[in-house]
Amino acid sequence: MLNPVLLLLTTLLLSSSLNAQIRITDVHGEHVFEQPPAKVVALNWAMAEQLIELEAPLLAVSDVRGYQEWVVKPKLPEGIHDLGARAEPNLEKMARLQPDLIIVSGITKAQVERLKNIAPVLNFNTFSNTHNNPQVAIDTFRQLALLFNKTVLAEQKLRDMQQRFVELRSALTSAYQGKLPKVATVRFANTASVYMYGDNSMSQYALKQLGINPALAITSSQWGLVQKRVLELSKIQTGSVLYFEPFNEYPQLQASRLWQAMPIVRNNKVAAVAATWTYGGAMSLKYLAEAMAQSLLILAAKNIELGLSEKNFIEAKQ
């Protein structure tokens, strides 16, 4: 439980800083804001997600339909304007909406300069092979909270997330009787190839928070994933594999004898994870952890059931 006095104090401290200037650092350096922006445009799904979590005044995002289909959580509020494809957000429409801040990531300096004609721009670095993606997502979350005067909310959410990690971890630990499996997270491209999430990926970070280590060492990369043959999964002897949905060809993969021969399949160590966005912001780590923990719990239950039925079988035989 938090000390109410302490909470009050921090709130006071923060509100007193309201009148002062807000200093935000992005890839281009420090930007000074007199007050929190009131009409914000996000040209990147991860940024949009962070802003929605912070209850910031979001005005428009790129590719609304794509967000609803792929990012899903958190839900996009009603009435958000659509700026079109992510590669080419519509500048004219953006200008007509008269935002007072544009939040982007990973675009070039020339593009930033052009956007500055519409409104001030904050350009955050999200996914890069030169930094720790999940940590940067959390840092950016805090920066944005500062900008929108939502630090209390942000810290609350981050604490909730940590709390959730602890809960999930203990649930998993008891389900697996103290022996948490090593886990590899993947996304199938087709029945023969697979994208494996490794160091610097959001899913691996989330698993680590649950006390779970990777089943395969995958080198760090910009987006935290590497394309490999499905065969590569045969290197996992004792660990489990979680694959992200949707993967419509799974029945076909299941029917193939190479797949059936893999240790993970023979030991029943494969489970699907409900569609979750793996390139999101800070809070996506929580959603990822929840979705993956749920799959792992189901897997544990299934294995116990199988183990029991095997035991029964053996007993019945005797």
CB of 218 to other proteins, least distance (A): 9
Closer by beta carbon to other proteins, 14 or else 226: 226
CB of 247 to other proteins, least distance (A): 9
Closer by beta carbon to other proteins, 158 or else 206: 206
In this structure, the strands spanning 240-244 and 270-273 are parallel
Closer by beta carbon to other proteins, 10 or else 221: 221
29: left (phi > 0), else alpha (psi -120 to 50), else beta?
A: left
Nearby residues of 274 by Cβ (< 8 Å), 6 or more positions away: 245, 291, 294, 295
Residues that bind other proteins (CB under 8 A): 63, 66, 69-70, 82-93, 95-96, 106-111, 114, 117-118, 127, 129, 187-193, 195, 219, 222-223, 225-231, 234, 246, 248-249, 251-253, 255-259, 261-263, 279
- Which strand (E) or helix (H) includes residue 53? helix 45-53
Cβ atoms of 134 and 127 closer than 8 Å: no
Closest by CA position to 297, among listed 263, 273, 266: 273
CB of 23 to other proteins, least distance (A): 27
CB of 248 to other proteins, least distance (A): 5
Closer by beta carbon to other proteins, 148 or else 214: 214
Closest by CA position to 62, among listed 37, 92, 41: 41
Cβ atoms of 216 and 235 closer than 8 Å: yes
Closer by beta carbon to other proteins, 257 or else 317: 257
Q: What is the rounded distance in angstroms from the CA atom of residue 188 to the CA atom of residue 269? A: 16
Tell me the torsion sign for CA atoms 125, 59, 285, 187.
negative
CB of 194 to other proteins, least distance (A): 9
Closer by beta carbon to other proteins, 151 or else 201: 201
Give whole-number Cα distances, 10 to 15, 23, 151, in Å: 8, 18, 10
CB of 294 to other proteins, least distance (A): 22
